[in-house]
Amino acid sequence: DFNLAAIYVSDAQYNRNVYFDTSPQAVRLYMLYNHWALKVLLYFFMLVNLSLAIFEDPAVYALPIWLTLVDMIIYGALKAANYYGVRWSRVLRPLLLVNVTEGRQLRRAFRSIRNALPQIFYVFLLFMFSILIFALMALKLLGKGLTNINGTPYFTSYLEIMFDLYVLVTTANSPDVMPAYNANFFFAVFFIVYILINTYIFMSVFLAVVYNNYKKYLKEEVRQLVRAKRHKMVRAFGVLQEQREEGGEPVVTQASWNQLVRLVQPNLSNAHRELLWSVSDDKNQGAIKVAFVQLADLLNIEIITIKSRPHPLQSLCPSLYQSAPSKLLCKLVQHAFVMVYDLIILVNAVFIGLDEENPMIANSEWVFLALYILEILLKLYVFEPRVFFSKHSFWNFDTIIVISALIATTVNSVMKSSHFSSRQILDIVFILRVLRLIRVVDSIKFRTIINTLIRIGPAILTFGQLIIVVYYIFAMVGMELFKRKVTFYEQSSTDPAKAYCGNPLLNGTDFAKLNYCRNNFNDVVSSFILLVELTVVNQWHLSSGFATVTHISARIFFVLFHIIVVIVILIFVAFVLEAFFVEYSVDKSDLQTSLERKIEELELAVAETMEDNLVNAMETIDNDLGGSQSAKPNLPSLMFKIASKDALLQRIFEADLDPEDFAENDDPEARGNENFANPLFSHA
């Protein structure tokens, strides 16, 4: 029974919505299904499936001949059976990512986009109409004997103009405005009006409509999620409930609660668990009822437990560690250190920029490394090691970088002394050196921005997956359409075909002139890089190039890709905006507030002023403990600090959600089944 309750809680915690049988055997199987090893396996096979594209024709790494033979036989057999040779399954592969249980975030995003499509379509129609009108004007007003720089006629074909004007909206300089502007001053007005309407006004409207609709449907999804979470918790309550006295209300006792939490999250410390219980059982009754429902949300709030204990050296040789010079050293490290090392980093930055062939500068690297390691050792002397290496400290990153740099620099100089220098290791050493400079940013001014970025990270990852699905599909289609149409020749090659990327059709085109041969669909990696270029830099030369080597209709592929990617990016931008606004404006959730209040009540809080950096916080604590021990002798040895805020999505929409979504008996259809006021419903 505890297993069943634990599954309900864990499903509520991670917003899983899988229907399962509640027999003990099925529950055990479901727990196995949710085991992390199986999940890793699932993702591993998904990765294998997706990365098949690396070995399939057109391949990055051609497979050994016998494997190719097997492939050929299967392919040949299919062909013999009159199957058409395009491998549609490859295009559909990334949909696996969407359709597994773990893809629910992604699925939600997809559903929201799909639901928003009709509204987006109306704006798009209006936008296309505007382009049509302007194209008509351009055809009649500008298409009169003007020529491009290369002498081709300017603005003559209607379809061509429409494509050019579409490209102009992306702020790429196509069509080249100059021929019209040179011919008549007032034609510039035409383009200015066009860009004002279609780039600025329409794109803003597009962003507004896309995001507004996306948000609307996402809100509905989040509402359903909150409801489903409540129902699961109510079910878990139904499993664990007991009546302490005859005729009394059904409750969950602390003992069963403890056992449940231990099952759901085995690695939770006892102190942490007791804290959560004391928040839930606010009146200290030894049993809870309504507060039980909070459990999933409570478990989702990350809490850092800081054990404040004396420095090991203090216990080993207290007289030395408490001596005057040692105390002075501690004070110096605690107060003057950050500024001194910021200065050292800046000097380091200048040295990195200088010529590294100079032996003096090359050796200076050792000096800087020694300084950084000295810093780590001094900090270790002053601060308690477990705090220094704690999971949530930014300094950790710094320490890793410094130690990696030490190793890489040593390896490099050993290799150098044996007259063998590797460009790769040199580059790694260099990147490590530069990364060290990031420390300068670790100041309070920037911390709010960076923290917000870190917090919206998971949401950004969902968009990353969305982008990968879109990219993969277009890469597969692109490879079928354009493989081996354009060839890249190494720079050392002397083949005359190099000048036109191995395709005579490209002779003399911009594509070949600009040396774009490497932008091709000849393998999956090249395809992805090409799609990135299309996303970012508006490389419409590419679309012209591929239209030249195949057919003018190839442009449809590129325009379609652009439209889809723009919608995803618009949603991404709007989402980041919203997340920032929420970070800036929305207060903590009620639950978090009550948790914080409890922590403060118990006098276990890390002081607010110490919040921005845990090691800094520890400095102050150490200071209190070590420096002037008399001040706060009763400081508890265990402290809590809330590390993360609630789930971003829920917080974004919390203000908008109706109160009944959080109310007890909200869902009429569920009310019959599980009335929380009297949860008689029992799961066999």
Q: Which of 51, 182, 269, 451 binds its own copies (CB under 8 A)?
A: 182
Residues 6+ apart with CB under 8 A from 107: 98, 99
- Is residue 419 close enough to count as binding its own copies by CB under 8 A? no
Q: For its own copies, what does the binding mask look like between residues 336 and 375, x meaning CB under 8 A?
A: -------------x--xx--x-------------------
**Tokens encoding 121:** 């379509």
Q: How far apart are CA 229 and CA 232, in angstroms?
A: 5
Mask 420-459, x = binds its own copies (CB under 8 A)?
A: -------x--xx--x--xx-xx---xx--x--xx------
Least distance in Å: CB of 576 to its own copies? 4
Residue 188 binding its own copies, by CB under 8 A: yes
Distance CA 570, CA 568 (A): 5
In a 3-state reduction of DSSP, which class is residue 571? Answer: helix
Q: Is 183 in the site for its own copies (CB under 8 A)?
A: yes
Among 185, 266, 492, 609, binds its own copies (CB under 8 A): 185
171 lies in the binding site for its own copies (CB under 8 A): yes
Amino acid (one-letter) located at 304: I
Looking up tokens 């090249």 gives 526
- Residue 207 Cβ vs its own copies, minimum distance, rounded to whole Å: 6
Smallest distance from its own copies to CB 174, Å? 9
Q: Residues binding its own copies: what is the number (CB under 8 A)?
A: 83
Closer residue to its own copies, CB minimum distance, 67 or 536:
536
Element (DSSP H or E) covering residue 538: none
Residue 511 contacts residue 542 (beta carbons within 8 Å): yes
Does residue 205 touch its own copies according to CB under 8 A?
yes
Quick check: 67 binds its own copies (CB under 8 A)?
Answer: no
* Min separation Cβ 136 and its own copies, Å: 6
- The minimum distance between CB 192 and its own copies, in angstroms, equals 5
474 binds its own copies (CB under 8 A): no
| 514-543: contacts with its own copies (CB under 8 A) | 514-519, 525, 529, 532-533, 536-539
Q: Does 208 bind its own copies (CB under 8 A)?
A: yes
Place of tokens 């602390």: 254
577, 613 contact by CB (below 8 A)? no
**DSSP secondary structure code for residue 497 in this structure:** G
Please, which residue, 209 or 387, has the CB nearer to its own copies? 209
587 binds its own copies (CB under 8 A): no
Task: Give CA–CA dist 678/673, Å, rounded.
Answer: 11
Residue with Cβ nearer its own copies (368 or 383): 368
Of 18 and 188, the one with the shorter C-beta distance to its own copies is 188
Report the DSSP beta bridge partners of residue 153: 147
Give 235 or 439: the residue with its C-beta nearer to its own copies.
439
Give yes or no for a contact between 490 and 111, defined as CB atoms under 8 angstroms apart. Answer: no
Sheet holding 242-243, edge to edge: 242-243, 250-253, 287-288
CB of 432 to its own copies, least distance (A): 11
Closest approach, Cβ 126 to its own copies, in A, equals 5
Interface residue with its own copies, options 368, 395, 511, 572 (CB under 8 A): 572
Q: What is the separation of C-alpha 178 from the centre of its chain, rounded to a whole number of angstroms? A: 42
> Counting contacts by CB under 8 A, is residue 407 touching its own copies?
no
DSSP class of residue 660 equals: G
Of residues 521, 476, 523, the one with CA closest to residue 62: 523
Token code pair at residue 498: 């190099």
Q: Are 648 and 459 in contact (CB under 8 A)?
A: yes
DSSP H helices in 56-172: 65-80, 88-92, 95-99, 104-141, 158-169
Cα gap 104→125, rounded to integer Å: 31
Q: Is 584 in the site for its own copies (CB under 8 A)?
A: yes
Least Å distance, CB 140 to its own copies, is 5
29 is a contact residue toward its own copies (CB under 8 A): no
List, in sequence order, every residue forming a beta bridge with 253; answer none if it has no partner.
287
Nearer to its own copies, 173 or 422 (CB): 173
Asked if 640 interacts with its own copies (CB under 8 A), we say: no
CA dihedral 78, 81, 84, 85 (to 10 degrees): 30
Q: Which is nearer to its own copies, 203 or 373 (CB)?
A: 203
The answer to whether the peptide bond before residue 359 is cis (omega within 30 degrees of 0) is no
The answer to whether 67 and 127 have CB atoms below 8 angstroms apart is no
Quick one: 163 or 572, whose CB is closer to its own copies? 572
- β-partners of residue 307 are 638
Residues 100-159 that bind its own copies (CB under 8 A): 122-123, 125-126, 129, 133, 136-137, 139-141, 149, 158
Tell me how far, at minimum, the Cβ of 331 lies from its own copies, in Å: 30
Structure-block tokens of residue 5: 């309750």
